[in-house]
Structure 1
């Protein structure tokens, strides 16, 4: 730290140079960046310390703030998730420029330097994205330990490129788009799609788990497809998390389709062409899905609870 006497004794330029020597300098926007992306071990340890302090000191058991803990922890994980999404999009925005520069290569040093600069920028952004993803996954694991629930974003998918999740949840719209997009094909959960429907309250979850265990035994590569609803679908989602089974979630788009959203969701689910549909007691929406699946020739297995 500089005292008043020190700053008066040296020039402003000397102070800046000494700061750069001690702490390093950030490059200008668009310039090559030789700094390390992050200190992984320190960052992850610091994250755990922050979350532990939050739970133990800010919202401890026995206080009213403890009732808000789950929501606040979810928001903390979501902040890291959205930073990951933002950096992902920043890398995608560089793709057209990279393609143009690759086509424009004419052997000149200027074009080659510009291409190298953009490639380095994309690589740095990708590395930053991976760092935030690892922070997000660590925070999501803390959320699971503290609440007993698996963290999921309210919209979109939850996958991880940098860590092996026990089970990934893929939004159905992302799944359909990815089938047509070579860039994301590698991130699709591979396996046999098996759909589940049923929204009525369930007292005996074991019947559902037993049925899913039987199907999983027949199709070890099973991918569970469901609507993200209550009742049997919620129990099935928790079963998938406990078994490490990937999920494709078809949520209704209420903003776009209004009251028709659940029926449009059924159409979207069937576009995935599941191997079969397991039907537990549900509402008229569930029966609509069963009827449409039958018309398409998709085997339906009804199970009473």
Structure 2
């Protein structure tokens, strides 16, 4: 039976009712919560009653937007461009979320200044309340946009087999926390949240490899075996966009594992890669996987071995796991779990 729709919202509602994914539904429900009845969108706007959009409609709209591009171009001469177009959609969510984050940071700075300069006047109290409301409104919008971006990124990963990664900057997301009580508590909570996003707490597994690699199944099996031993692991990679690191990031996206990307600081010149290795080592990884690549991988493997980190070495010619000859041999074993 055919069904017609007069607007996109009705179509999104229909799709939301017919399609369900418990994890996605839960993520959207957590990101679109309204903790305050009032909203304030900018420093000059008055507080107003404005609801968040329906999370189910938004979820359906994001999925349709991404999926339709792949569907309509599939098996046509334009199919090769679907990936680039879908990446642009996902990146647009990332770009807008970063812009809102900048507004949020400005509001938080203003809130901090107000909290440090107490004034018993009524105008001060109003200004403090309005600025805190602005922070909370912008935080909620940012987290909703991040949820939409993460969903678009997952559709992109499923369709292309590659993790979405923005050109610049880190990609982090979170769920909303309980509403804040006063300005100082709000700022402290926000600071803790941002520290956790960029410095997540948990056992770190270091990973690095060359840009030419064929056997992705081997790396997936190996990382699965490590995750079975370290369920709360965080993957720290050297952030290359091809080869081993790209395979590891695709695995992390599929398994829901947090990733820390250690990009090269080009300002450091020839020593940039070695400084990156030192920074990765400073996380005190509990385990590491090094796939044969260049001298950079050899340098990192040497430093990990000297630090006593349990180390897996994968050779390029054999592409099989070879535990390094160190004191951690007893802990490692072969990469045996299936993808």
Say whether 1:159 aligns with 2:172.
Answer: yes
Alignment of 1:178-217 (within 5 A): 182-187=192-197, 188-199=199-210, 201-217=212-228
Structure 1 pair 114/27, CA: closer, same or farther in 2 (3 Å)? closer
SS at match of 1:110: helix
Say whether 1:252 aligns with 2:267.
Answer: no
SS at match of 2:234: strand
Gaps of 5+ in 1: 1-25, 164-180
The equivalent of 1:234 in structure 2 is: 246
Structure 1 pair 100/224, CA: closer, same or farther in 2 (3 Å)? closer
| Partner Cα separation in structure 1 for residue 173 and residue 120 of structure 2 | 39
Say whether 1:281 aligns with 2:292.
Answer: yes
| Partner Cα separation in structure 2 for residue 252 and residue 194 of structure 1 | 19
The equivalent of 1:18 in structure 2 is: none
Alignment of 1:48-127 (within 5 A): 48-57=63-72, 60-127=73-140
Q: 2:157 aligns with which of 144, 158, 169?
A: 144
SS at match of 1:64: coil
1:74, distance to aligned residue in structure 2 (A): 0.7
Say whether 1:40 aligns with 2:20.
Answer: no
1:259, distance to aligned residue in structure 2 (A): 4.0
Structure 1 pair 128/276, CA: closer, same or farther in 2 (3 Å)? closer
1:123, distance to aligned residue in structure 2 (A): 1.9
1:93, distance to aligned residue in structure 2 (A): 1.0
Structure 1 pair 98/200, CA: closer, same or farther in 2 (3 Å)? closer
The alignment yields a C-alpha RMSD, in angstroms, of: 2.8
The answer to whether the 8 Å contact 2:97/2:145 transfers is yes
Aligned length: 260
Alignment of 1:122-137 (within 5 A): 122-137=135-150
Structure 1 residues 262-302: Cα deviation after superposition (integer angstroms, max 9, x where no partner): 22322221222212332222211111112233344434333
Structure 1 residues 53-89: Cα deviation after superposition (integer angstroms, max 9, x where no partner): 43444xx124333211111111111111111111112
* TM-score, normalised with respect to structure 2: 0.67
Structure 1 pair 27/33, CA: closer, same or farther in 2 (3 Å)? farther
* TM-score, normalised with respect to structure 1: 0.73
Q: Which moved more, 1:282-291 or 1:148-157?
A: 148-157
Q: Which moved more, 1:44-53 or 1:149-158?
A: 44-53
The equivalent of 2:35 in structure 1 is: none
| Partner Cα separation in structure 2 for residue 148 and residue 301 of structure 1 | 25
Q: Which has the higher helix share?
A: 1
The answer to whether the 8 Å contact 1:37/1:124 transfers is no
